[in-house]
């Protein structure tokens, strides 16, 4: 008998006072995640804090064009 356990991470992009930044509540944070997020065209910076990641976008880019790419990265973790 084989059991397969899959961890599902529910994440959402949370608004911040800065309209160009969104927060994700997570305890994950490493160079691989930072590199993957900053590789998305339109992401200008990634900041890791205790239990969260803040993703800042370029002003001329809409969140609708970035959100799915960000979610896909977290889905692969």
Q: Is a pLDDT exceeding 60 seen at residue 60? A: yes
pLDDT at 6: 58
Among the residue ranges 3-7, 50-54, 58-62, the one predicted with the least confidence is 3-7
- Lowest average pLDDT, out of 38-42, 60-64, 70-74, goes to 70-74
* Average pLDDT of span 54-76: 93
Q: Where are the domains of the chain?
A: 14-75
Which pLDDT tens digit goes with each residue over 23-59? 999 887 788 999 999 999 999 999 999 999 999 999 9
Beta-ladder partners of 38: none
Is the CATH number of domain 14-75 3.40.50.1820? Answer: no
* Contact (Cβ atoms closer than 8 angstroms) between residue 53 and residue 46: yes
């Amino acid at each position: 008998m084989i059991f397969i356990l899959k961890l599902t991470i529910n994440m959402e992009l949370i608004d911040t006072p800065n309209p160009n930044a969104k927060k994700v509540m997570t305890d994950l944070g490493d160079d691989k995640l930072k590199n993957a997020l900053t590789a998305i065209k339109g992401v200008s910076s990634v900041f890791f804090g205790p239990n969260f990641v803040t993703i800042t976008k370029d002003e001329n880019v809409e969140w609708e064009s970035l959100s799915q790419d960000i979610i896909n990265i977290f889905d692969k973790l």
